[in-house]
């Protein structure tokens, strides 16, 4: 067994896409773990790497001497008694954009054995990009915090996944969050109908973000929102009086978690329901993904929405 192969296996030889994020994090870098996650996820599906690649009819053009006879539209000749040839446009099955939140709040984790929200989302985005590219779907990436930090246009050429993985591997938590400008970048990147996967902890301005997401949906794109959350954000751990600090604004509050646990849980549940309802009402797919969720389950939910 080669060293590279050994690094992609757990001590028990389990599929990486079914391991916990903490276990995956201990097995190596983003590229090694992501390849293992995708290889495990696709095992047994027997998908052709060129599935969906097609040549789409564009228009007719009057026949000119030298045109190949195989492109002549013989049915049109029979109806009109004129020679026309078919012109085609080659295209991939899909054009997809991954839009990843890299703000300061994404750099948080509630336990040492888990990945930060940004590390989890980066690995999941890299795995999704690999799945899409293997299906010949042109895939791009936008990262943002208070402003757009990087843009990789959708491509399907050889070596593009390495460029995507490199951008994700070098990503560090930034400052505050403003998703609207990042989502507007997608409009220019996807000239035809495509797919937008928005990965964020959604600790941002809901109204402006939803407006931008709805605009993309209005343009005909399939839109998927992956709400990335650490389990500790969903349930306030009971304990002694604690000071909590907002990583983006620096504001702090001191409270006794035991006294506020119930109210906190009700508030979180309400926010999750509101995001889900607002997205569904606009025809947008929404999924809550916690950072203790095995990658295989997260990938399955994400691609099922597609």
pLDDT digits 0-9 by tens, 126-164: 999 999 998 888 999 999 999 999 999 999 888 899 999
pLDDT digit string (tens) for 16-64?
888 888 888 887 788 888 888 887 777 644 344 444 444 556 678 888 8
Mean pLDDT of 54-78: 80
Q: Give the residue from 291, 287, 268 showing the smallest Cα distance to 279.
A: 287
Estimate the crossing angle of helix 30-42 against helix 117-134, to 10 degrees. Answer: 50
pLDDT digit string (tens) for 263-297?
889 999 999 999 999 999 999 999 999 999 999 88
Confidence bin at 250 (pLDDT 50/70/90): confident
Cα–Cα distances in angstroms (integers) from residue 46 to residues 2, 49, 51, in the given order: 25, 9, 11
Least confident of 67-71, 142-146, 237-241: 237-241
Residue 222 tokens, joined: 């399939």
Least confident of 35-44, 64-73, 162-171, 174-183: 35-44
Domains of the chain: 54-91 (no CATH), 94-305 (3.40.50.410)
């Amino acid at each position: 067994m080669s060293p590279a192969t050994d690094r992609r296996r757990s001590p028990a030889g389990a599929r990486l896409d079914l391991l916990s994020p903490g276990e995956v994090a201990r097995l190596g870098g983003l590229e090694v773990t992501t390849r293992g996650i995708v290889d495990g996820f696709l095992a047994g599906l027997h998908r052709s790497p060129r599935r969906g690649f097609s040549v789409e009819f564009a228009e007719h053009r009057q026949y000119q001497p030298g045109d190949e006879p195989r492109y002549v539209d013989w049915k049109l000749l029979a109806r009109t008694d004129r020679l026309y040839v078919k012109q085609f446009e080659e295209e991939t099955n899909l054009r997809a954009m991954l839009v990843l939140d890299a703000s300061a709040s994404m750099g948080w984790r509630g336990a040492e054995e888990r990945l930060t929200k940004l590390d989890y989302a980066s690995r999941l985005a890299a795995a999704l990009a690999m799945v899409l590219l293997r299906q010949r779907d042109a895939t791009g990436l936008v990262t943002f915090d208070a402003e757009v930090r990087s843009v990789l246009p959708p491509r399907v050429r050889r070596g593009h996944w390495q460029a995507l993985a490199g951008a994700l591997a070098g990503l560090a938590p930034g400052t505050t969050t403003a998703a609207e400008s990042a989502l507007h970048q997608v409009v220019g990147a996807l000239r035809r109908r495509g797919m937008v996967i928005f990965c964020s902890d959604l600790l941002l301005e809901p109204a402006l973000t939803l407006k931008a997401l709805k605009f993309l949906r209005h343009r005909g794109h399939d839109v998927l929102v992956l709400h990335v959350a650490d389990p500790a954000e969903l349930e306030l751990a009971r304990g002694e009086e604690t000071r909590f600090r907002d990583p983006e604004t620096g504001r702090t509050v001191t409270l006794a978690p035991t006294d506020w646990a119930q109210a906190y849980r009700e508030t979180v549940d309400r926010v999750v329901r509101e995001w889900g309802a607002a997205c569904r009402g606009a025809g947008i797919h929404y999924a809550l993904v916690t950072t203790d969720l095995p990658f295989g389950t997260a990938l399955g939910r994400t691609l099922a929405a597609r």
